[in-house]
Amino acid sequence: MDIPKHDDLNSLLEEALTTESPERLQYLLKIAKQYDERDAILRAIMNNPNTPPEMLLKLGADYPQELLEHPIFNLLLLEDPANLVKAIPEETKISLLGFNDTPFSILKVIFQNFSRSIRIKISWISINKALISQVETQVQDPKDFNPAVLIWNSKTIASVLEILAQDPDDSVRQGVAENINTPINSLFKLAQDPNDYVRQRVAWNSNTSASILEILAQDPNDYVRQGVAWNPNTSASILEILAQDNFDNVRQSAAWNSNTPKRSIAILAQDANKDIRRGIASNSNTPINWLQILAQDSEQDVRSQVASNFNTPINWLQILAQDSMQDVRSQVASNPNTPINWLQILAQERDDYVRSQVAINPNTPSSILEILARDINKNIRQNVALNPKIPINLLFRLAQDPSNDIRTGVVWNINTPPSILELLAQDTHAYVRQNVARNPDTPANILEILAYDTKVQIRTDVARNPSTPPHILEILADDSDKYIRQNVALNHKTSIVKSLKILTNL
């Protein structure tokens, strides 16, 4: 039977907005696709107070605001929120999770109905969509997980974490406690959690405030105090107290913390525990007089840290360059403050690792890099390829090195020009092309070539690349490989709407 046409669009919209007949609403829903004003008709249906719940919930995927404002939806939410959430189609749940104005109370109901495994994974997730693929691979039961539910804006993820901070499951709260997006008020509550592991993760969270850390510094659990001693937000006054802690690990973390005051450093530099002295030797706040003392320490691990410290005086770097232990000399070789004459000496070392550290040192002159680029050890040539000061002509030569690892090193050099990347994008070895596809500095025209590569993994890396432009992602969104399409959805350049569409059709 032919569907009758409406001559007057206004009357059609009026009917969609006011009719009390479910049959007429179903009819209007059916014919709406024939009209250019389809969106207006569907919005009218969503605003009709008589629209059946099932139709409302289905259309809510495209019209979350209208759904949230509808009186029937709010009545059902009030009467039986748990059953309402079960009745909401997956696409609509996703839409509500991604919608800026979804109330906290509704988000809470949605998340309370997720399984334990999903709540745990969500508690660890960051706002960065690129992490979702890593989380998905950790879920034991793939049927129990839909990555689409993890796409939120910054406002929503804070609300979600606030909900999960009250979760009865310890593992979920642990994830929230460590998440860098967890709001300060939730971290404050979690700092008083009865579970030791939850408090530990709050102590290690780089966003935990100094006031919360001050509370945790008095925690009876040794590993909680260790986290406080490590945290870059811990004040000097608290670190001074923790530097005298009876637990070695607490003092060790304080030794590495650059906020530790000099009077505490002087005490820790004489600690019987070599790992604590090693931390002081590495600390950027350690005074020169203590670096000189530690440069003569009986433990090579301590002397190695002095050799790597950017504040170590040149005269002591020269002394350490002659140390009997290879680890110490290699740290001098990598220190950007090491004088060129000593880099020349160390470049002739018999030990491969020492020479490799000269090769990566950004202050190594091109004349030495030229020699090391011909070294028989491929790890040394690879470090030359990665050196930010390497001349272009040497980069071009290493781009033709027989070793895949060296050519890959050229790919990742920050100064490699597009002409060399284009050459390596045509490399016969898939591993080299794959690294070109991963490199965020690879130009769009090269990424477009690799988007058609025969190797699935290479196309996948193009889809993951944060620099891949939308028009190339559009190409890969239609790829025959499901995993590639999923990575397109997780790329930050892909719109939320496009992401949802891809993920719900996987």
Among the ranges 9-23, 61-75, 142-156, 385-399, which has the highest mean pLDDT value? 385-399
Q: How many residues does the chain have?
A: 506
Share of the chain above pLDDT 90, in %: 70
Asked if residues 488 and 126 have their Cβ atoms less than 8 Å apart, the reply is: no
Residue 115: the pLDDT is: 67
pLDDT one-digit tens code per residue, 470-504:
999 999 999 999 999 988 987 888 876 677 677 66
Per-residue confidence (pLDDT) for residue 121, from 0 to 100: 59
Task: Note the pLDDT of residue 33.
Answer: 82
The answer on pLDDT for 1 being more than 50 is no
- Domains located in the chain, CATH noted: 417-506 (1.25.10.10)
pLDDT of the residue at 238: 98
Model confidence pTM above 0.85: no
Kindly state the average pLDDT of the residues 410-422. Answer: 96
- Residue 143: per-residue pLDDT: 42
Express each pLDDT in 241-300 by its tens digit. 999 999 999 999 999 999 999 999 999 999 999 999 999 999 999 999 999 999 999 999
| Nearest-angstrom CA–CA distance, 46 and 465 | 39
Two structure tokens written together for 351: 């030990």
Cβ–Cβ under 8 Å, residues 165 and 182? yes
- Kindly report the CA angle at 356 between 353 and 360, in degrees rounded to 5? 140
Whole-angstrom Cα distance, residue 69 to residue 293? 71
Task: Out of 22-26, 29-33, 320-324, give the one with best mean pLDDT.
Answer: 320-324
Q: Give the pLDDT confidence score for residue 48 in this predicted structure.
A: 94
Alpha carbon 431 to its chain's center = 24
**Alpha-carbon distance 415 to 362, whole Å?**
13
Tokens linked to 339: 């004088």
Average pLDDT, the chain: 88
Which tokens belong to 411? 């790919």
Q: What is the mean pLDDT of residues 36-63?
A: 93
Return the CA Rg of the chain: 30
Confidence of residue 117 (pLDDT cuts 50, 70, 90): low
What is the band of 2 on the pLDDT scale with cuts at 50, 70, 90? Answer: very low
Which of the residue ranges 99-108, 128-137, 148-157, 360-369 would you say has the lowest mean pLDDT?
128-137
8 pLDDT above the threshold of 80 = no
Nearest residue to 330 (alpha-carbon basis) of 317, 316, 314: 317
Instruction: Report the 10 Å Cβ neighbour count for 309.
Output: 24
Coil, helix or strand for 20? coil
Reported as a pLDDT band with limits 50, 70 and 90, residue 384 is very high
Judged by DSSP in three states, 254 sits in helix
What is the structure's pLDDT at 104? 72
CB-based burial label for 126 (10 Å; 0-12, 13-18, 19+): middle
Q: Kindly list the distances between the CA atom of residue 408 and the CA atoms of 198, 320, 367, 379, in Å, as whole numbers in the listed order.
A: 41, 33, 23, 12
Reduced to 3 DSSP states, what percent helix, strand and coil does the chain have, rounded to the nearest 5? 65, 0, 35
Angle between the 9-18 and 38-47 helix axes, to the nearest 10 degrees? 30
